[in-house]
Structure 1
Amino acid sequence: MAENNESEAAPAKKGKLKLIIMLVVVVILAIVLSVVGTLWFLGGGLPGMGEEEGDATEVAEETFIPSSYYQMEKAIVTTVQAEGRQRYAQAYLALESTDPQALEAAKLHMPLIRSQLVTVLGSSNFNELQTPEGRSGLAERMLTTVNQVLEQEGEPAIKRVLFRNFVVQ
């Protein structure tokens, strides 16, 4: 009888091993199919499958061009009128551009640009300069002024005027 128990236990272990292997294969197959299906539905398709020559002529994405900056070392300082009193405004600025030639031109024409920026800052309203909207409006007016100076000189325009430090008192 002992021999009968051993012979029945061996085939049962072999059957369980086959079942485990088949389950592992089925799970791996399901994972692979889900990944392939996801790629196909998202429009990427699979590399080398179903691609035609017409797909190669798609519009190329724009390349990323990093910005360059020029930090004005001296602050723009001027007085601002506020309800009959004189107040001071000080701004440390940086110029941003994707064209290095624009920054070189700004360095070259910096005396004229500084003069115009002092005028723009001095003509601002003190109460507006204390709000975020007023400061962003000032930055836009300064950008317009800098680009007008550069345009008059036949130079490329800059992208933005940035405040590194801004104080009104």
Structure 2
Amino acid sequence: MFKKVLLCVLPLVLLSPLNFVVAEEEATQLTSDYQYFALDPDIITNYIKPGKRLGYIRVGIDLMVKSNKAFQEVELHEPLIRDRIITVLGEQNEQQIRSVSERKAIRLRCLNEANDAIFEITGDRPIEDLLFTKYLDQ
């Protein structure tokens, strides 16, 4: 009886570590090396406002990248990315800046412009997503 139990349990015990190793390797293959690059300091710029008054907006931005190489590209071209985002924000009018529904369109346009700027130089689009971490307008 003891031999039968031992023969049934022994293969399970011996094969268990192999299952953990295989599962761990599969998990590392499925996960990517996502990182966030924070544009620091926040972007502060003016936008179009009716009349002779100036409106300003302050935006905190994090850029999501998928690899270390993409992180280095974004870090290298940060001034160009900031310039493109400031240009996009400066072209908006007061209604677009204050509208919650337009905020997503502005975010996507900033993402596309930042990727286009880097694409012109490197031929690669390293930014996966752009997140507004702070969005203040006045």
How many residues are aligned here? 110
Q: 1:109 aligns with which of 70, 73, 77?
A: 77
State the partner residue of 1:81.
48
CA distance in 1, matches of 2:91, 2:125: 26
Q: 1:161 aligns with which of 111, 119, 130?
A: 130
Deviation at 1:145, TM superposition (A): 0.6
CA distance in 1, matches of 2:65, 2:37: 9
CA distance in 2, matches of 1:99, 1:145: 20
CA distance in 2, matches of 1:66, 1:107: 16
Q: Deviations over 1:48-80 (max 9, x none)?
A: xxxxxxxxxxxx998232521001111111111
More RCO (CA 8 Å, sep 6+): 2
Q: 1:72 aligns with which of 5, 17, 39?
A: 39
State the partner residue of 2:93.
125
* Length-normalised TM-score, structure 2: 0.72
- The change in CA–CA distance for 1:157 and 1:143 in structure 2 (over 3 A counts) is same
- The change in CA–CA distance for 1:141 and 1:156 in structure 2 (over 3 A counts) is closer
* Length-normalised TM-score, structure 1: 0.60
Relative to total residues, which structure has the larger strand share, 1 or 2? 2
RMSD of aligned alpha carbons:
1.9
Residue 71 of structure 2 corresponds to residue 100 of structure 1:
no
CA distance in 2, matches of 1:132, 1:65: 31
Task: Work out whether residues 66 and 126 of structure 2, in 8 Å CA contact, stay in contact via their aligned partners in 1.
Answer: no
Task: Work out whether residues 150 and 156 of structure 1, in 8 Å CA contact, stay in contact via their aligned partners in 2.
Answer: yes
Task: Work out whether residues 101 and 156 of structure 1, in 8 Å CA contact, stay in contact via their aligned partners in 2.
Answer: no
Query: Match of 1:70, SS?
Result: strand
Task: Work out whether residues 116 and 125 of structure 2, in 8 Å CA contact, stay in contact via their aligned partners in 1.
Answer: no
Aligned-residue identity in percent: 25
Task: Work out whether residues 88 and 168 of structure 1, in 8 Å CA contact, stay in contact via their aligned partners in 2.
Answer: yes
Deviation at 1:162, TM superposition (A): 0.5
Runs of 4+ that moved beyond 4 A: none
Query: Match of 2:92, SS?
Result: coil
